[in-house]
Structure 1
Amino acid sequence: MRSSPGPGGTTTLDASTEERVASRVGDALEAVFAAVAQTRAETAALLARVSEQGRAPASADLAALRPGLHLRLARQELVSGVGFIAAPGLLGDVPAWLEWWQTTADGDVRPLLPDLDPERSAYSDYTHWDWFALPRDTGRRAVAGPYVDYLCSDEYSLTLSAPVEVAGRFVGVAAADIYLRHFEAAALPLLRELPGPAHLVNARGRVAASADPAHLAGSLTKGPDFGAVLERARTKTFGPLRLVPCPSVPLVLVVTTA
């Protein structure tokens, strides 16, 4: 790692070190996004086949996704849950549906069976949550959280998601969950390679992992337009902060330089 004293004795970090750390964070998440991409492709292909039969899809059709979902849970160490979340009105037999599978504490795989009745459940409308709304509204991959995942696990989690489209129509999202403690175990050693305070944020400034006591995981970093940094894929300076987009994944490395 190369650094040098800056004005007033502050440490000026070699930009190549920041970019290397951002790249390694991207590498750590890319395997999870690969699982999301596989789910996305399988779901789109399945729904296209159903459409060719001239009928609306039903929740039972999504059972065909289960072998692939189980395989991803077994193969991807960081993934704690994975599946497809249907856009409301997509399925002919139910108003909303999550074809979601997750691992238990003892390593078993089980389905999530949430109550989606709007008269009984506070979780019946999931369309406002970032893991659904960001891919739907932007057409791009997203990292949501960290947040307490009351719907799936009651764990502090990140959700990585991507839009699913059939014939140009948005039909839902493919997604995967990562427990925050697992992501921090992978990300914190990288952040600590930097000589100054650093943290990672998503497109909305939510802190995903932090080696900076001033920015705790789950808090918001206000001020910069992190979405624009990700869209332009270029490092930007915002006051004392350097904003370094992580290659290929929607997280920004935020480094305090003074």
Structure 2
Amino acid sequence: MGEFRCPPDDTAWRQTNLIGDRPHVVFPRIPVLIQHVDDAPVLATPNETMLYNADQRYVRELRNQAGDNCVYIELHHESLALLAEEGAGLIDSSYRLVASHAPADHRTYLLQHLLIRHLKAPDPDPLLAEETAATLDLSALRDRPASARRRRGSTKAAHTALAEAAKTELASAPARLTLSELARRLHSSAFHLARVFRVETGFSLHGFRQTLRLRAGLERLSSHAGDLSTLALELGFSSHSHFSERFRNEFGVSPSELGDERHVRALLEATARG
């Protein structure tokens, strides 16, 4: 498990990349466009887990001035077999990942965030870290998204394109964007857009945008210690209390507690237990 950063001036943005000789499970921290060779492009956001089989080739496009920033886990082939036996629906009978991405629920995102913080602590517990990583892998790979079910190729492509366009708008749209306005921008009906988006992403439109804001807040807690009011306003929340309420609803703990390094291990153990 590790962290990956690619600055915006890196040559990797201008060439085809190779993931390596092991499968990877990747948790984006900021939006970046990822396209596996011979697959459709995906806006990788903190709301998704990105999946790569061994030797996967892909390209990336800049969507944030910070470049690319993510957490990743490398898997052995034997690990895929064991995860499949445990019920990981995103692994097929040949022990390959069957999708390029899947929704990341709140527990999965929080677990990887806490685990990487624990590993960066002065004295991490290797047994706790390894057991938690196994739990994280299963959490990320357990459920096959509804968008993976069989549909006609033209319908599937159209729905994927609509959802990706909506994700792009939501990742940069003002806080008061309405459904009707978003539907007009994307040349769709509001009902069709809302239905397709939920099937393709696992989120409602409002839920997707709010979850993006909350996960961005989680990653920025350390840089806003003692000044959560400013962070709340920067993220589009009306006040410190509004942000704290939504944050607790999402992660089950207050921003101040989660931002305190003294609580990381206890929170990690509690989250891993489910």
TM-score, scaled relative to structure 2 = 0.26
Larger Rg: 1
Which structure has greater strand proportion?
A: 1
**If each structure's helix is expressed as a fraction of its own residues, which one has the higher value?**
2
Higher relative contact order (CA 8 A, sep 6+): 1
